[in-house]
Structure formats: structure tokens, C-alpha cells
Amino acid sequence: MTEAKKILVTGGAGFIGSHLVDRLIEEGHQVVIADNLSTGKLRNINPSATFHHTDITLQSIREVFHREQPEIVFHMAAQTSVIESIRDPFKDCQINVTGTLRLLEACKIYGIDRFIYSSTGGALYGDPDVIPCTETTPIIPLCPYGLSKHMGEQYIELFYRLNHLNYTILRYANVYGPRQDPSGESGVIAIFSQLMLQGKNLKIFGDGLQERDFIYVSDIVNANVKAMSSSTQDAFNIGTGRPITINFIYETLQNIIEYSGQVEYHPQRAGEILRISLECEKASKILGWLPSVEIQDGLEKTVEFFRRRVR
């Protein structure tokens, strides 16, 4: 365990952010949350954290830095929907690029020790010729979301060159688990789990043979905690390296839930990739991180969470 720190988590009321906040508090850190609650939930906020209802895209975010004086920043607040980024690329850019830049400026002013950035591997590499992808795979995003997250990475690298702001970039695979929002257009496991438990019919966009790299949320949290003690400035893929089809997810959830409803197949949506998985040897060697939750266990834990929620 690292020495206790004062830590700011943007998006700390959200799906992944709230799990990270819980873990940091368990380890004895003093945690501050900045979240505008556009997708985050008050019920996710750990009562031991200090909460600021604010927006990272506004210059007033500096007031949080001035008041709290954090040592480390985990930047998890983001627009994360591929479909929404295509529908409104200006909003996507405002949140993911301008918001990141606001935070980096504040980090420069207040002398932050390390900036840990939640990026995407699922949308960054587009439809790669070879999977699993390494960190040197060409970056060819197919949607504004992938592009905006990459622009955030480039600003972070620039602030290191100009201002010596230490950083770690974590490129996530498709994250799933408890607290994921089942009401949006992304997060297929959360969406399927809730609909199945409610006995409703499902939609699969495409033939269901498209492949994703699904990683359980606790493995993502572990990677972030490992990044706190890193002394290198670099980007890391965080996934399992195992491609899994949407049909496999459907069939496995069907068995866990004993679902008897129907599934409808619809045309593939624009901007969505066909095949992706992330090779994570670099994270293993440098961060000492490896995924530990198998897909069957992760799906069962996720279903149990949504089972309680549906009840």
C-alpha cells in the first residue's frame, strides 16, 4: 500500500469512479470527488469522501483544486458513449477535450504529483488488422469519442513536456460490473442483465459475432491503484487480451438468469467496431498488473447486483 494521499477523482459518482473511490478510502486515502451528476449517481458516493457538485468543463473547477489541494488526480469524468459522440460531436469534444484541458491547467497551477487518465482502448484503435492490440497499434478511431479521448492523451503528453506533469494513461477495454448504467446505449452487459431480469426482449445490433474485450470493474480499479506508484510516464492497455462475442455474452447471461425471452437482431450501428482485444504485457511488466476476474465470475457478480436492483 502507498503512503496516504489527498486524491481528487473526477467522475467519482460514476460507474468506475465510485468503485475507485471506495477502494482508495479503504486504503486510507483522503478522497475528493468532482462530478456534475450528468451520469453519476448520488447513491454511488462514498459518505467518507468530500463531494463537489461541479463541472470539469468550467474554469470554476480550479476552486476545487484551490480548496482541497490534492496531490494526485484520477481523471475519470467523460462522455463515453460512441453513439452520443456521433450524434453530438461538439458536446463530446467539450467534455473530453476541453474538460481535460481545464484539469491539466489546474494541475499545472497547483503542482499535482501525478495525473492518471482513463482513456479507451476499445475505441482508440478502430478496427485493427491484428488483435490483440498493443500500445503501438495504429490509432485510427472510428468515432468522435475515440478521437476526443486520444486528443486528451496528447494534451497530457504535452503538459509533461512543457510542465513536467507526471502522468499515467490507462486505455481500458470494455468495462462491466455493478453500478454500470443500464439505461444508456452503451454497456451491453448492464443493459442485457436488467432487461433479462425484467423479462423483456433484447436487441442485438449486428449479427452478434462482433468481438469485444470485457474486463470486470475491480480489475480496472486495481490498475488505477497500481498507477499511483508508477515512476514512468506512459500509456498502458488494460484488458484481458481475450476477444468475446456479443452472442457469447447473451448466451451466458441467458443461462445464469434462466431467461426465456426473445432476442431481435438489428443492423450494425455506425461507428461501432467489429473486433477488438487488448494485449497487456506492458502493464504486467511495468505496473505489475494482471486481470484476475474470469468472465463467468464477473457476469455472475454483475447479475446478482442487478437482481437486487430489480427487486
Per the CB < 8 A criterion, the answer to whether 206 and 272 are in contact is yes
CA–CA dist 172, 222 (Å, integer)? 12
What is the amino acid identity at position 72? Answer: I
Catalytic residue among 110, 117, 125, 145: 145
User: Cell numbers at residue 26, please?
Assistant: 479503504
The candidate with the shortest Cα–Cα distance to 241, out of 169, 149, 170, 173, is: 173
CA–CA dist 203, 27 (Å, integer)? 41
Per the CB < 8 A criterion, the answer to whether 134 and 186 are in contact is no
- Residue count (the chain): 311
Per the CB < 8 A criterion, the answer to whether 100 and 55 are in contact is no
Contacts of 151 (CB under 8 A, 6+ apart): 93, 96, 97
CA–CA dist 269, 145 (Å, integer)? 15
CA–CA dist 238, 293 (Å, integer)? 13
The candidate with the shortest Cα–Cα distance to 148, out of 255, 17, 271, 299, is: 271
3-state SS class at 216: strand
3-state SS class at 117: strand
CA–CA dist 272, 208 (Å, integer)? 12
Annotated catalytic residue 145: yes
Distance of CA 230 to the CA centre of its chain: 19
Residues that are catalytic: 145
